[in-house]
Amino acid sequence: MLLILKIAWRNIFRHKGKSIVIGVILLLGAVIMTVGNAVITGMDRGLHHHIVENFIGDLVLISGDQKNNAVVFNFMAEPVEIISDYAAIKALLTREPYIEKFLPAAFGAPLVLNEEGGEPDFNFVLGVDFAEYQKMFPGNIDLLEGRYPNPGERGMLLTDLNRELNFQYLLGYWIRPENEPLNRAHLAPEAAALGDRLTVKDRMIFMGFSEKNTTIDILAPVKGIIKFKALNKFLGFFNLIDIESFRECFGYFTAEEKGSDITKETQAILEMGETDLNRMFESDTLIEKGGHREKSYDSDSLKKETEKKGKIDVDQGAYNQIYIKLAPRVSLTDGLNRLNQAVKTANLNVRAITWKQGMGEVADLAMIMKGALFIFVMFIFFVAVIIIMNTLSMAAIERVPEIGMMRAVGARKSFISLMFLLETSLLAFAFGGAGIVLGYIAVQVLTAMNLSTTNEMLQLFYGGNSFRPYLDVADIFLALLQLFIVTVLSTLYPIFVTRRITPIDAISRE
């Protein structure tokens, strides 16, 4: 073995030109593969932190009747099936040891109505108990203006992204928090340009909808303006609203109306005859003066309708999804299987899905970008294999006389094969090892640079607002494994060539 190693070492220096070429390819390949592995891991960690830990949890529990799994990020604004018997579900989740936390919520996309007239449009809203939301996802949002709603208080937290989009494309007026002065430092450029002509309001009117059309318009006072600390270009589409207002908006039974599927007002509308319905739509809430539409909605009436007082148990009303965080060291697959088995055994009409399924198109985009990055790393992998294989094959052809003479004095084919493999292995150990070290240094430099972006696609690629690749022990072992596979694959064909060389080939070449 020492003899083969000595010969291999000597041959590296005898053919140093090709050895340097092979070494440089191994060096660059190792750097790129190490950094690529770190970027993929950093992306995974970022998405897990900003989406799983700070927005949706590991699993989402949805109704067994729900057909579309994309119940959170649903661009088509499809209604989500109501979860029934939350009390039994809550009892089950509380006693399951692999579940750390859970939060019932409701997702919907009501129409935003303009008090001054104009076309309505959708806004995504999450109906939550604000205190429980902060316990589930502490520190995931920045409060830019205003305050958080008090326990049991009606109202909403509007995201800065939606505020600007609503101003530009829908409402035409700027929204500030209730009882707060206008913060001109936060005005969008188009709003600031209006100066004293800018209309400012502190509320939004939502019209929910369902398959049964059992909904009412609600007025939601804006208590605060928020911004998600990361991925705000995606998560910023979601306003937060108190769960009771959400239920009224979408016709769910509320905690105040336990036992009723719809509100009393909605029931009265459903019981109206055709004449009464026509009279309702001919009322003076829609009147014309001077050729212009007056306010289409009686805001004072809506305000009285949606202001509720008294302490209530919000869990007595309806939800349509439950966010779940798994206990530490519980894998996603294990938690998913155990929870689905538990709800099946308890005969509950719900099922668990992963956060990726719940996030729909956003998770799909992230996985596509991760797959593209992995393909790029594998492309570099195969390019390195092909270049090294070609270089070694040329070296084998040039060394036919040398190898033929070695065969003539008794060297076996296995000796020649092992000699070539050792030559490449030594180069891989020296140059590839140096490449992994350089890749590690490059990762630390990139992390220290704290590169940030506001581009939506790059934020998914980064796993957050900042580019933070991460290299753990598993990634280093993966880089070593990739280096080993490159070494083995790149020597297969050259070894095949050398094994066919005979002493006669050496004589004929001379």
Residue 287, pLDDT score: 35
Q: What are phi and psi of 273, to 5 degrees?
A: -85, 175
Burial of 446 (0-12, 13-18, 19+ CB in 10 A): middle
Which pair of structure tokens corresponds to residue 419? 């000699």
Report d(CA 315, CA 253) in Å as an integer: 11
In the chain, the amino acid numbered 161 is L
Domain regions of the chain by residue span: 2-49+365-509, 99-326
Residue 258, pLDDT score: 58
Residue 505, pLDDT score: 62
In a 13 Å sphere around the CA of 315, the CA atoms on its Cβ side amount to 12
Residue 399, pLDDT score: 74
Query: Which of 9, 20, 2, 6 is CA-nearest to residue 391?
Result: 20
The answer to whether 226 and 143 are in contact (CB under 8 A) is yes
Residue 305, pLDDT score: 47
- List Cβ neighbours of 414 (8 Å cut-off, separation of 6 or more): none
Residue 366, pLDDT score: 74
* 282-315 residues labelled b (16+ CB within 10 A) or e (exposed): eeeeeeeeeeeeeebbbeeebeebbebeeeeebe
Taken in order 56, 58, 63, 69, is the CA torsion positive or negative?
positive
Residue entry with tokens 């805001």: 299
Q: Which DSSP category does 412 fall into? A: -
The answer to whether 166 and 188 are in contact (CB under 8 A) is no
Taken in order 230, 233, 234, 236, is the CA torsion positive or negative?
positive
Q: What's the whole-model pTM score? A: 0.75
Query: Which of 46, 71, 129, 58 is CA-nearest to residue 98?
Result: 58
Please report, in tens digits, the pLDDT of each residue of the chain (510 residues total). 666 667 666 766 666 777 888 888 889 888 988 998 898 888 888 888 888 888 999 999 999 998 888 888 766 667 788 998 899 999 999 999 999 999 999 998 888 888 777 677 889 999 999 999 999 999 899 999 999 999 889 999 999 999 999 988 888 899 999 999 999 999 999 999 999 899 999 999 998 876 655 557 888 999 999 999 888 888 999 999 999 999 888 888 676 665 444 444 554 544 444 444 444 444 443 333 333 333 444 555 455 444 544 556 777 888 999 999 999 999 999 999 999 999 999 999 999 999 888 887 777 777 787 788 888 888 888 888 888 888 888 877 777 777 777 777 777 878 778 887 888 888 888 898 999 999 999 999 988 888 888 777 777 777 788 888 988 888 888 888 888 888 888 888 888 887 777 777 666 655
Which pair of structure tokens corresponds to residue 186? 């936060």
Query: How large is the angle between the packed helices 433-449 and 16-47, nearest 10 degrees?
Result: 40
327-332 long-range contacts, CB within 8 A, separation 24+: 327/97, 327/98, 327/99, 327/100, 328/100, 330/98, 332/58, 332/59
Which pair of structure tokens corresponds to residue 120? 């309505």
Report d(CA 55, CA 51) in Å as an integer: 5
Report d(CA 458, CA 293) in Å as an integer: 44
Report d(CA 413, CA 183) in Å as an integer: 82
Q: Which region, left, alpha or beta, applies to residue 417 given φ > 0 means left and ψ of -120 to 50 means alpha? A: alpha
Q: What are phi and psi of 268, to 5 degrees?
A: -65, -40
DSSP state string for 44-80: HHHHIIIIIIIII-SEEEEETT---S--SS-TT----
In the chain, the amino acid numbered 60 is V
Query: How large is the angle between the packed helices 473-499 and 433-449, nearest 10 degrees?
Result: 150
The answer to whether 424 and 487 are in contact (CB under 8 A) is yes
* Cα distances (Å, whole numbers) of residue 447 to 31, 57, 240, 469: 16, 26, 33, 6
Report d(CA 200, CA 191) in Å as an integer: 10
* 127-145 residues labelled b (16+ CB within 10 A) or e (exposed): bbbbebbeebbeebbeebb
Q: Coil, helix or strand for 244?
A: helix
Burial of 502 (0-12, 13-18, 19+ CB in 10 A): middle
DSSP state string for 285-329: TS-EETTEE--SS-HHHHHHHH---S---GGGS-BSEEEEEEPTT
The answer to whether 324 and 53 are in contact (CB under 8 A) is no
Count of all residues that appear for the chain in the document: 510
Report d(CA 144, CA 193) in Å as an integer: 21
Q: What share of the chain is helix, strand, coil (3-state, %, to 5)?
A: 55, 15, 30
Residue 93, pLDDT score: 96
Which pair of structure tokens corresponds to residue 219? 């007025």
Which pair of structure tokens corresponds to residue 297? 């909605």
The torsion defined by the Cα of 341, 347, 326 and 51, in degrees rounded to 10, comes to: 110
Residue 445, pLDDT score: 93
Q: Coil, helix or strand for 402?
A: helix
In the chain, the amino acid numbered 177 is P
